[in-house]
Amino acid sequence: MIYEQSRSGRQATAQTNFEMPALPDIPQELLREQPAGLPEVSEMQAVRHYTRLSQKNFSIDTHFYPLGSCTMKYNPRACNSLASLPGFLSRHPLAPDTHSQGFMACMHELQEILKHVTGMHAVSLSPAAGAQGEFAGVAMIRAYHDARGDDARTEILVPDAAHGTNPASAVMCGYKAREIPTGQDGDIDLEALKEVLGPQTAGIMLTNPSTVGVFERRIKEIAGLVHDAGGLLYYDGANLNAILGKVRPGDMGFDVIHMNLHKTFSTPHGGGGPGAGPVGVSQRLEPYLPVPMVDFDGSDYVWLTEKERSDTIGRLSAFAGNAGVLLRAYVYARLLGREGMHRVAEFSSLNANYLLKRLMEAGFDAAYPERRASHEFILTLKKQAKELGVNTMDFAKRMLDYGVHAPTTYFPLLVPECLLVEPTETEAKEDLDDFVEIMKTIKQEAETQPELVKQAPHTMPVRRLDDVRAARELDLAWKGQE
């Protein structure tokens, strides 16, 4: 903790004599009585502290990071540097349109690119993160049914393998989430779907390829069934990377999609920071898109607001989403072009399938061995857990010792001892081969000296954390030294 280095009176500008300026303009009753309790350190201490912390990071810049479902691919530096051009950085969101034509042109083009690559009728960029995009998407489904006076629709269907955000978004919009099971082959259980569809169905939320890492083969049939029941189809863009430019959600029959730009379009993975979750819709949902959007009237780029779009579900933030994040996605899309997007889908799938085959040859069990993987796949370490007493978490922790960020563990929940692996398209064959060797080594360790694996990691700044105690006795605030 940087607070532990704090010494009263120490300043960043240690060598300069720095006096607090007087604040005569601020009324006495508005001044704080106690100092803010910030750490008092020198500039150098601050630099060292944060540099050391950053060196403890597992990051894509330093480690292979096959965290399934998160698409931890490499973000080209150009996206960052071009989005940081002074003209973009200095633009004020309240500046008149005439001063923002360049920025607005980029946003308009991004809307068009996302529209084409997803096959949707229109796109709004304004949701400030994937979760907000989901909320906006379900809110539009609600607006559509409400506008038709179809208020008996109370349920949103969600597969049991779905991301937890899906049922959460449905509930936030006042719906009841109803679970539908996944069949043995990884596809949705169609018979179970037919049973729960009805006049109460507002829609279904799907990811395709699904969370179990396979392409939902009967998507057309599912779309037909849901539409016949009067429901709409929601596409969670979590796994868009696998099909980019190859198959379009709009062509599969989806009515609304949110895109996680940090996964597919190379914007920073948030950790709570600024994000972007644009939404695309079919023709019938177009009136409800969140504002503002950018339009081109033949000579100028203009904002579309509540004035022009009276049926909109409204604004989701003060301005047009997170401009800097959207710009990065725009640069990335332009760098790739149409051909590049195809290659993203091809190589993310190729890498995943190569890795899956090699790991199966090495004696690991695939959760869906008869299925071709999409951009990610699931191993089940059930056998190792049962026979060797070494479970998925032990494998995951041991990987850290070998310089690999662990894949996603224990998600989706329906696969026991689950390891969800997503290598992404930006890894070279040699890196994939290295990972196979590491997995083989850990497997051998598990067979011959299981304790070594069960007590891993051995080389990290911290060993196994007591996550049960951490969850039961939440302690989130540093309260000073005792």
Partner 1 sequence: MSNTPTDLRYAKSHEWVRDEGDGTVTVGITEHAQELLGDLVFVDLPEVGAQLEAGGDCAVVESVKAASDVYSPVTGEVTEVNEALDGAPETINEDAFGDGWIFKVKLDDAGELDNLLDADAYNALVAEEDH
Distance CA 382, CA 398 (A): 17
Count interface residues toward partner 1 (CB under 8 A).
Answer: 8
Secondary structure element (H or E) that encloses residue 189, with its range: none
In the complex, minimum distance from the CB of residue 329 to partner 1, in angstroms, rounded to a whole number: 32
Q: Which phi and psi angles does 149 have, rounded to 5°? A: 70, 20
Under the criterion CB under 8 A, does residue 196 sit at the interface with partner 1? Answer: no
- By beta-carbon proximity to partner 1, the closer residue of 208 and 391 is 391
Under the criterion CB under 8 A, does residue 413 sit at the interface with partner 1? Answer: yes
Under the criterion CB under 8 A, does residue 154 sit at the interface with partner 1? Answer: no
- The residue with tokens 């960029």 is 125
Q: Please identify, among the stretches 28-36, 38-46, 72-80, 410-418, the one whose residues bind partner 1 according to the rule CB under 8 A.
A: 410-418
Q: Which two tokens mark 205? A: 């939320």
Question: Pattern of binders to partner 1 over 443-472, x per CB under 8 A?
Answer: ------------------------xx--xx
Give residue 269's identity as a one-letter amino acid code.
H
CB atoms within 10 A of CB 463: 11
Q: Are 239 and 208 in contact (CB under 8 A)?
A: yes
- By beta-carbon proximity to partner 1, the closer residue of 111 and 391 is 391
- By beta-carbon proximity to partner 1, the closer residue of 94 and 474 is 474
In the complex, minimum distance from the CB of residue 400 to partner 1, in angstroms, rounded to a whole number: 18
In the complex, minimum distance from the CB of residue 467 to partner 1, in angstroms, rounded to a whole number: 5
Q: Which two tokens mark 10? A: 């120490």
Cα distances (angstroms) measured from residue 208 to each of 170, 284, 333: 18, 22, 21
Under the criterion CB under 8 A, does residue 22 sit at the interface with partner 1? Answer: no
- By beta-carbon proximity to partner 1, the closer residue of 101 and 455 is 455
- By beta-carbon proximity to partner 1, the closer residue of 468 and 477 is 468
Residues 84-123 binding partner 1 (CB under 8 A) are: none
- By beta-carbon proximity to partner 1, the closer residue of 467 and 482 is 467
Class of residue 280 by CB neighbours under 10 A (exposed 0-12, middle 13-18, buried 19+): buried
- By beta-carbon proximity to partner 1, the closer residue of 127 and 167 is 167
Q: Are 118 and 250 in contact (CB under 8 A)?
A: yes
Q: Are 401 and 367 in contact (CB under 8 A)?
A: no
Contacts of 74 (CB under 8 A, 6+ apart): 60, 424, 426
Under the criterion CB under 8 A, does residue 181 sit at the interface with partner 1? Answer: no
Class of residue 318 by CB neighbours under 10 A (exposed 0-12, middle 13-18, buried 19+): exposed
- By beta-carbon proximity to partner 1, the closer residue of 266 and 408 is 408
In the complex, minimum distance from the CB of residue 302 to partner 1, in angstroms, rounded to a whole number: 46
In the complex, minimum distance from the CB of residue 394 to partner 1, in angstroms, rounded to a whole number: 13
- How far, rounded to the nearest angstrom, does the alpha carbon of residue 325 sit from its chain's CA centroid? 13
Distance CA 389, CA 297 (A): 66
Residues 351-370 binding partner 1 (CB under 8 A) are: none
Distance CA 282, CA 256 (A): 6
- By beta-carbon proximity to partner 1, the closer residue of 177 and 400 is 177
Identify which of 319, 268, 310, 272 has the alpha carbon closest to the alpha carbon of residue 289: 310
Under the criterion CB under 8 A, does residue 416 sit at the interface with partner 1? Answer: yes
Torsion, Cα 281 282 284 290, to 10 degrees, reads 10
Choice from 410, 431, 434, 450 touching partner 1 (CB under 8 A): 410
In the complex, minimum distance from the CB of residue 469 to partner 1, in angstroms, rounded to a whole number: 9
In the complex, minimum distance from the CB of residue 472 to partner 1, in angstroms, rounded to a whole number: 5
Choice from 87, 93, 102, 164 touching partner 1 (CB under 8 A): 164
**Which positions touch partner 1 (CB under 8 A)?**
164, 410, 413, 416, 467-468, 471-472
